[in-house]
Structure 1
Amino acid sequence: MSDVHEAVTRAHHDEWARVVAALTRRFGDLDIAEEAAAEAFATAVERWPADGVPPNPGAWLTTTANRKAIDRIRRESKRDDKQKEARMGYDDDPPEPLGAIDDDRLRLIFTCCHPALAVDARVALTLRLVAGLTVPEIARGFLVAETTMGQRITRAKAKIKAARIPYRVPSAGDLPARVSSVLTALFLVFNEGYLATGPDTDPVRHDLTAEAIRLTRLIRALLPDDGEVAGLLALMLLIEARRSARVSAGGELVALDEQDSGAWDKALIAEGHGLVRERLAAAAAGVAPGRYQILAAINAVHTSARDVRDTDWSQVLALYDQLVRVDSSPVVALNRAIAVAELDGPEVALAAVDRLEDRLAGYHAYQATRADLLRRLGRSQDSRAAYDKAIELAGNTAETAYLVRRRDQLR
């Protein structure tokens, strides 16, 4: 990868949401903002190799995107009012300081998560505009086709435009109606960071995990008594604590049972455990835990064991049983089956996994789980076939390398 390509990629990670937010605030149109931002980054790819990377890439991108947006508005004769507004508001001064990123990003998140939009559309739009994820990455997160996801995002932006949904941080009274969608979006951003789904990105994207954690901390400051906000923050911290041990020097994913727990971030684990204990105290007082709180508790069990062989699998399974009552998704059932395998054996777990085939056959983690269970049962030929399917479906390069090695170890 060239230095210029790296600079553009880094700028995209750092500046995408800020540029989109700044243009949305100025022109009041998410569609124009996103398209102008995309054109600005495309221009950077064309011009920076010849002109060099500018001293302030963010300012360059924002100025270029502003001009692209105004050019588009001028071309659209039906938008006379917006053209006048753009001409009045536009100048060549540098964009506002980076200190405004937090407010801009928060406004954009809550605009995307407006109750007028369908829940899936809220989350998808947030991932596209705030996190800058591509449509294929978002589609893989939702386990749907790219065309379906593209249509969903297009409809959401059209709904914001037609309903004249304002670009602003909602009042305190509006937050509870939107926070669930915001948390879902942040969790999916974090997931894409700790195990990226695309073959053309780093297997672990710290820029995304760090940003998801930062934004969740911001939401927690707004809603300090919301148990699910605390639960999601704890979950992210406990997963992030293991980041340095998740990929080997050779670029291969390291499974939890093979990780060096001495390399885990003890400060993050301590903070995550503290949040889990806080939520357990609330549960003892009669406040039922939600999805993220239970997932955080499961991860607390894993990070509490001094050795993977000391993991309290009965507690993990009990927590999954509790989670199933809150979230009956097939992915939760798949993860529960992994805990079942540790307690009741791979044959019982395989039966549970096979019942999910109709809904998860195209999901790489489903095939990888089947492959491992079949390997443990000595069914090498069937295991190899399942590994082949998992390798075909997996997009993460580190995970693919891990699956190839496991497959090739079969007799």
Structure 2
Amino acid sequence: MASEPSERVEVLLRRLTPQVLAAVVRRYGHFDTAEDAVQEALLAAATQWPDAGVPDNPQAWLITVASRRLTDLLRAEQARRKREDTVAGWVLPQDWMTPPADRAPADGDDTLVLLFLCCHPSLPPQSQIALTLRAVGGLTTAEVARAFLVSESAMARRISRAKTTIKESGLPFAPPAPGERADRVAAVLHVLYLIFTEGYAATGGPRLHRVELSSEAIRLTRMVFRLRPGESEVAGLLALMLLTDARRLARTAPDQSLIPMAEQDRALWNADLIAEGVELITAALPRGPVGPYQLQAAIAALHDEAPDNESTDWAQIVLLYERLLALADNPVVALNHAVAVAMSRGPREGLELLGKLEADGRLARDHRLYAVRAHLLEMIGDHESARAAFEFAAALTTSVPQQRYLRGRAR
């Protein structure tokens, strides 16, 4: 063993968390109790490793400690409930103290199964996200609570309910049946997409970005991509995240005020992330079938590869948004399509499309609809109407940077 700084230990533990939890759940079941046991093993490691050094096989160390703790927890539960007839079902194998690494578990596959479990359709979307961040991402309950802008106690209750739902459903720790696989993969990707989106453009609070969320979404999506490199939509989602996150540093001024894409200093865009994202989407598109994440990534690539806003291939972006709309009736996609039409064919055509969208109740209280209207009204010279639309949009958002930007445009 060699001693390690606590920061490096923290990074290592976060990376190992899903592998350890997946291995324990696969072998012994009891998702909720296994999660508690793994957290205690992680706490022990975080306390001991910085001084004593990291074990030669840290994953095996964690699984062994978690297994021991799981035994204690299950036996305590047995005694409390006095269910002697179930003792045999809870006793661990005789070799439970043998370092699990000797058994060569398929930890990569286990991690994906854990993601499937956390993103099960029996859970509401917010619970899927919270459980994924907690169990797979390795975030503490306090960290997840901060991401959702709720109290730690409220988040603890939400996560507990999610684990109880999984326990009561009797779901096995196993890959989904072939007929369910596509839907379950789609659920995993949707959860990761939601985590990234909230991190890149926070819906509320004082910050435009929550880097801890967007970075965690990228890390988890990279993990899924390593496990399923041949699935085009997985590659598409990873490419979309990288191409979008590449612009992050240019989105805010030193005072944290928002800078729209048209006014951003593109020299601040991350060229390495753009190159990786373009390579991913270029390889994924020919494989087919083409899904929504690949189409969004292709749009992001067109933005990122343009030397300036005026050089953007808006006509191609319009076509890509039309393909997206053909896949699903999504009002936000329709809104982005209207923006692309305005940039390609003129603001009046964009405003005409917005008029149709205003009848869609799904966007009735979405500040983005009125912010787009304000920009297009400004483009045609109707400054008084644009000012009113900017003010109305600012009143609808709970994001402080968005409010400042919109009110600044109104002024």
- TM-score, L = length of structure 1: 0.70
Alignment-derived partner of residue 262 in structure 2: 257
Match of 1:348 in 2: 352
- Counterpart code for 1:85: L
Written as runs of structure 1 = structure 2, the 5 A alignment for 1:143-182 is 157-158=163-164, 160-162=166-168, 164-168=170-174, 175-176=181-182, 178-182=184-188
Q: Which amino acid aligns with 1:388?
A: A
Residue 279 and residue 62 in structure 1: after superposition, are their counterparts in 2 closer, same or farther (change >3 A)? closer
Match of 1:130 in 2: 136
Q: How far apart are 1:319 and its partner, in Å?
A: 1.4
- Contact 2:193–2:217 (CA<8 Å) still a contact in 1? no
Once the two structures are superposed, residues 100-125 of structure 1 have per-residue CA deviations (whole angstroms, 9 ceiling, x without a partner) of 864542231234456x8579599545
Equivalent residue, structure 2, for 1:109: 115
Listed as ranges, the gaps of 5+ residues in structure 1 are 141-146, 395-399
Q: 2:64–2:100: 8 Å Cα contact kept in structure 1?
A: yes
| C-alpha distance 157-261 of structure 1, shift in aligned 2 (>3 A) | same
1:375–1:383 CA contact under 8 A, matched in 2: no
Is 1:360 equivalent to 2:363 in the alignment?
A: yes
2-side partners of 1:253 and 1:316: how far apart?
Answer: 24
**Aligned residue for 1:143?**
none
Pairs within 5 Å for 1:53-72: 69-72=70-73
Given that 2:240 and 2:277 are in contact with CA atoms closer than 8 Å, whether structure 1 keeps it comes out as yes
Distance 1:258 1:53, change over 3 A: farther
* Counterpart-to-counterpart distance in 1, 2:196 and 2:410: 33
Picking from 168, 188, 199, the partner of 2:194 is 188
- For structure 2, the residue ranges without an aligned partner over 5 or more in a row are none
1:397 corresponds in structure 2 to none
* 1:208 corresponds to 2:213: no
Shift, 1:403, TM fit: 3.5
Contact 2:64 2:97 in 1 (8 A): no
- The reply on whether 1:233 has 2:244 as its aligned counterpart is no
Q: Which amino acid aligns with 1:181?
A: A
Contact 1:367–1:386 under 8 Å retained in 2: yes
* 1:126-146 residue CA offsets vs partner (Å, 9 max, x unmatched): 455323577768979xxxxxx
TM-score normalised according to structure 2 size: 0.70
Alignment of 1:75-86 (within 5 A): 75-77=76-78, 78=83, 80-81=87-88, 84-85=91-92
The two structures, once aligned, show a CA RMSD in angstroms of: 4.8
Between 1:14-23 and 1:52-61, the stretch displaced more is 52-61
Q: Distance in 2 between matches of 1:404 and 1:208?
A: 27
Deviations 1:134-182 (A, max 9, x none): 7768979xxxxxx99977x767645643454333456989754532223
What is the rounded CA distance, in whole Å, between the counterparts of 1:405 and 1:121 in structure 2?
Answer: 28
Asked if 1:266 is matched to 2:271, the reply is yes
Find the aligned partners of 1:361 and 1:322 in 2 and give their Cα distance: 24
Are the counterparts in 2 of residues 219 and 229 from structure 1 also a CA contact under 8 Å?
no
Q: Contact 1:183 / 1:232 at 8 angstroms: preserved in 2?
A: yes
Q: Give the whole-Å Cα distance in 1 for the aligned partners of 2:404 and 2:67.
A: 47
Inter-partner Cα distance in structure 1 for 2:116 and 2:134: 14
1:84 Cα deviation from its structure 2 partner: 2.9
Q: CA–CA distance in 1 between the matches of 2:204 and 2:72?
A: 33
Give the 3 Å change call, closer, same or farther, for CA 10–335 of structure 1 in structure 2: farther
2:328 aligned with 1:323: no
The percent of aligned pairs where both chains have the same amino acid is: 36
- 8 Å CA contact 1:235–1:292 kept in 2: the answer is yes
CA distance in 2: counterparts of 1:165 and 1:324, whole angstroms: 35
Q: Tell whether the 8 Å contact from 1:30 to 1:157 is kept in structure 2 after alignment.
A: yes
1:91 Cα deviation after fit: 5.2
Match of 1:291 in 2: 292
Bigger Cα Rg: 2
Amino acid of the structure 1 residue aligned with 2:330? S
Cα distance in 2 between the residues matched to 1:326 and 1:252: 35
